[in-house]
Structure 1
Amino acid sequence: MRVIVTGHLGYIGRVLLPILIERGHEVTGIDIGLFEQFDFIAEKPKINEIRKDIRKITTDDIKNHDAIIHLAALSNDPMGELNPGLTEEINHVASLRLAKMAKEVGIKRFIFSSSCSVYGRVEDDSKILFETDKTSPITEYAKSKVKTENEVSRLADNDFTPIFQRNATVYGYSHSLRLDLVVNNLTASALYSNEINILSDGRPWRPLIHVEDLSRVFADMLDAPKEKVHNQIFNVGFSEENYQVKGIAKLIQENIPGMGISVAKSFDPDSRSYNVNFDKLKDALNLKNEWNVKKGSKEIYENLKNSSITKQDFENKACYRLKQLEQVLDQFPNFLSKQLDEIC
């Protein structure tokens, strides 16, 4: 299958590409390269690449393909809040435009990378959330995902199959590493701070999925029978991987005997908390996870020990997407506004 992956140089994309290639797909990657300077291994799979802002893609860029896996976005809540207008432009408007172009040129399957963060905060911790439950997005990032789901869904017909993956919070090692994800962050704090530092009270719930397991879901969605996935929303994760943050810290501690856990005495309240059901995905694709938090945190810990990332990098948030974006904007202050000007 001829597959386009947008955001192929990002945290998920760097793990997804080898899986797609191994399965025999012909891959075209589209990425502006915003975070490429923070990639820790220069060698990348040899594929057809288009270096372009997602907002500048044309029908010529995507024609003669069978499917799109759309990862490209301002990729987390803090980045979304940095510039809400830009988040709307990239995550919602450009995504809808891409889906419309995909349908226009005859692409059959459009897989949209959404997020479980669309559920926001659920006051009752005992409530398990299904795809049919009401969304309550709190952040600009989550709002952009809900709007895109709703509007792309209206494009579905016999010849165009959109699929919406509400992904759990991702963890695990990638060559385009992020340490602003909860499992990765807590594991890195153990290595660089000699303590597992919880930056909240540890009570919020998070559904989790390893980046390799998530990548396999994307790949499986390409081949899934149309009748099982057509215009469907899927919570993407595994039910046994719902944790409170303090529970994540305890699992990491089991990998590093004697490591202490500290809980922040003062912190910005985290209003996001949700416990998610993943039975629909399991029934559709008969999936099993190959990773869990304990195994994944050990992988992160060992890779970090053998990497060039230093304690200073961690303390300066060198592997945080928000910090990386701010660094790019410091170097090129008109970078993002210039892109906006070009399409207005």
Structure 2
Amino acid sequence: MKILITGTAGRVGRAIYIKLMKTHQVVGVDQIPCSTADYVGDIRDSNFMTKLLKDVEVIIHTAALHAPHVGTVSDDEFEEINTHATEQLALLGIKQGIKHFVFTSSTAVYGFASTPDGAAGWVNESIVPQPKTIYHKTKIKAEQALEKNIKSFQFTCDDSPNITVFS
């Protein structure tokens, strides 16, 4: 099985790549050159990403701007990468006939809801997110965009508190 993994220079993407490379044909992509990035490029480039999707059966999308980038990267760039590029990648995958799209989100999207009254609280699917930063907001928007597209193309969606999995 051929699997495309985005964000393979990051901790999550790299760990997934290393685990799956033992049993699958994996293709890693990131903007930062590293041992787990077979291709270096921008996930916002639809022509580049379309070429990488040839013969891919599964997309595992971990690429994103993260909380440490808040304040150093514009809100517009957060929107472009975390929300629009995620939706675009899913749509490109659908066009290519890919049936499984795994999207890594974060429990951080729950923001203030995860710390009621300033104390640590339990987070599960029944908690309504209260995002704190542009990072949280764009991850929520990406989840919503994926859910909308999945319903349009009759995919299934499974949610987990630590990641959101679309397949």
Shared fold (TM-score greater than 0.5)?
Answer: yes
- Whole-Å Cα distance in 1 between the matches of residues 120 and 40 of structure 2? 45
- State the identity %: 31
- Whole-Å Cα distance in 2 between the matches of residues 80 and 61 of structure 1? 29
SS of equivalent to 2:103: strand
**Paired AA for residue 12 in structure 1:** V
- Whole-Å Cα distance in 2 between the matches of residues 92 and 159 of structure 1? 19
8 A Cα contact 2:61 2:104, kept in partner: yes
Structure-2 residue corresponding to 1:26: 25
Task: For structure 2, list consecutive stretches of 5 or more residues without a partner in the other structure.
Answer: none
Q: Does 1:146 align with 2:72?
A: no
Equivalent residue in structure 1 for 2:68, among 78, 95, 98:
78
Larger Rg: 1
Give the Å deviation of 1:15.
Answer: 2.2
**Paired AA for residue 53 in structure 1:** D
SS of equivalent to 1:28: strand
Structure-2 residue corresponding to 1:97: 88
Structure-2 residue corresponding to 1:50: 39
8 A Cα contact 1:5 1:13, kept in partner: yes
Deviations 1:81-101 (A, max 9, x none): 321111111111111111111
Root-mean-square deviation over aligned CA pairs: 2.4
Q: How many residues in Structure 1 have an aligned counterpart in Structure 2? A: 158
| Structure 1 residues 25 and 105: alpha-carbon distance in aligned structure 2, compared to 1, 3 A threshold | same
Structure-1 residue corresponding to 2:130: 136
- Whole-Å Cα distance in 1 between the matches of residues 120 and 84 of structure 2? 35
TM-score by length of 1: 0.42
Give the Å deviation of 1:231.
Answer: 0.8
Structure-1 residue corresponding to 2:12: 12
| Structure 1 residues 88 and 159: alpha-carbon distance in aligned structure 2, compared to 1, 3 A threshold | closer
- Whole-Å Cα distance in 1 between the matches of residues 151 and 13 of structure 2? 28
Deviations 1:78-123 (A, max 9, x none): 3033211111111111111111111111111111111111111132
**Paired AA for residue 150 in structure 1:** Q
Q: Does 1:112 align with 2:64?
A: no
Deviations 1:102-156 (A, max 9, x none): 1111111111111111111132437422113211111000100000001111111
